């Protein structure tokens, strides 16, 4: 019965984080350099050069609105359970920092030529492995892990990798990248997977240190994003500059991407508040989010291109593996 209360908030997160990559990528292109303005023999010289700092700033501003201003007003007028603690604030700020650095990794992967159709599934495939190891380390629950549970984690990761290689822009796009750009894409994906993998366990610890508060850890996450994604990159953008310019469409899409990320963070906190544990909440989110991500990409112009059966088999592997993680997650021992 407890899981029935958790699942709606898990669904809110995997939908929000599933659309995060495609929406942010669209904003990044909109804030970058228009290839039509750089012509060679009357034709665009190449693919658009995307901005890095502008979409990151937009993500930080969206988090500030959703995860700082709204919780502040709610705490001021309504209050909630829990209380401020230094340890809870530390762990929640650390979770927010991990989330913001992960967002930077996504932006860097796109900037280096990666595509959402495989960048996001790879992140979502690797992150639950990191999440599971981090959660088990923090809970000292390695002995309670079953072989079926480990198998489910592997199935999620392998399925996500299959989504990449059998997608429309997977292998072909990788071949076109230079060795340096390919290395940057891979390192950026690994950075985001690491950061987003530890995000859930660290945030859960912060929430527990604040005695189950919902709004306080969310506020800390928003403050961390404000520092890393707004305060730090803004002077760099002003002094050093970069390709592209502020455009309305690109700004709106980037803000929407940030809002999706912040709403997903709220869904995680609410899932934890109703009894969910990182050991199954995060793998379930990371298992279904790539399906949402792929659906967005198909609706974004790939739907008329036939996809191989291996692609759909990989998606099924991701979903089945995520369900297996939920069902066979290590349960805390009763006392």
Facing residues of 43 across strands?
40
Structure tokens at 311: 């692609």
- Directed axis angle between helix 309-328 and helix 278-297, to 10°? 160
Q: Going by C-beta distance under 8 Å and a sequence separation of 6 or more, which residues neighbour residue 165? A: 118, 171
pLDDT at 102 over 90: yes
Domain ranges of the chain: 2-35+48-328
How many residues belong to the chain?
Answer: 335
Whole-prediction pTM value? 0.82
CA 55, CA 189: separation in Å to the nearest integer? 17
Per-residue pLDDT tens over the stretch 277-334? 777 788 788 878 878 887 887 777 644 556 678 878 887 887 788 777 767 777 655 4
Neighbouring C-beta atoms of residue 167, cutoff 10 Å:
25
pLDDT in tens, 152-207: 888 877 887 777 677 655 555 555 778 888 889 889 999 999 999 898 889 989 99
Whole-angstrom distance, CA of residue 261 vs CA of residue 162: 25
Element (H, E) at 78: none
pLDDT on residue 142:
66
Do 128 and 286 touch, CB atoms closer than 8 A?
Answer: yes
- DSSP-derived 3-state class of residue 324: helix
């Amino acid at each position: 019965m407890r899981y029935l209360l958790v699942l709606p908030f898990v669904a809110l997160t995997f939908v929000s984080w599933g659309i995060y990559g495609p929406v942010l990528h669209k904003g990044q292109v909109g804030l970058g350099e228009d290839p039509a303005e750089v012509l060679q023999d009357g034709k665009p010289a190449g693919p658009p050069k995307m901005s890095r700092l502008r979409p990151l700033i937009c993500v930080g501003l969206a988090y500030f609105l959703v995860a700082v201003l709204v919780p502040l007003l709610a705490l001021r007028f309504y209050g909630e359970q829990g209380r401020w603690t230094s340890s809870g604030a530390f762990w929640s700020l650390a979770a927010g920092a991990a989330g913001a650095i992960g967002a930077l990794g996504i932006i860097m992967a796109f900037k280096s030529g990666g595509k959402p159709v495989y960048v996001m599934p790879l992140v979502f495939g690797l992150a639950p492995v990191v999440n599971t190891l981090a959660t088990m380390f923090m809970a000292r629950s390695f002995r309670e892990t079953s072989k079926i549970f480990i198998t489910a984690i592997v199935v999620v990761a392998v399925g996500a990798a299959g989504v990449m290689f059998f997608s429309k822009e997977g292998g072909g796009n990788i071949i076109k990248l230079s060795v340096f750009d390919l290395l940057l894409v891979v390192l950026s994906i690994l950075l985001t997977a690491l950061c987003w993998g530890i995000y859930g366990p660290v945030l859960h610890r912060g929430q527990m240190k604040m005695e189950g508060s919902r709004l306080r850890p969310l506020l800390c996450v928003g403050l961390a994003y404000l520092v890393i994604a707004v305060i730090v990159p803004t002077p760099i953008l002003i002094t050093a500059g970069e390709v592209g310019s502020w455009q309305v469409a690109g700004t709106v899409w980037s803000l929407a991407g940030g809002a999706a990320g912040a709403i997903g963070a709220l869904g995680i906190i609410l899932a934890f508040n109703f009894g969910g544990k990182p050991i199954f909440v995060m793998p379930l989110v990371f298992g279904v989010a790539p399906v949402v991500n792929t659906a967005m990409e198909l609706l974004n112009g790939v739907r008329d291109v036939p996809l191989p059966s291996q692609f759909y088999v990989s998606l099924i592997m991701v979903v089945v593996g995520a369900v297996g993680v939920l069902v066979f997650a290590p349960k805390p021992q009763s006392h």
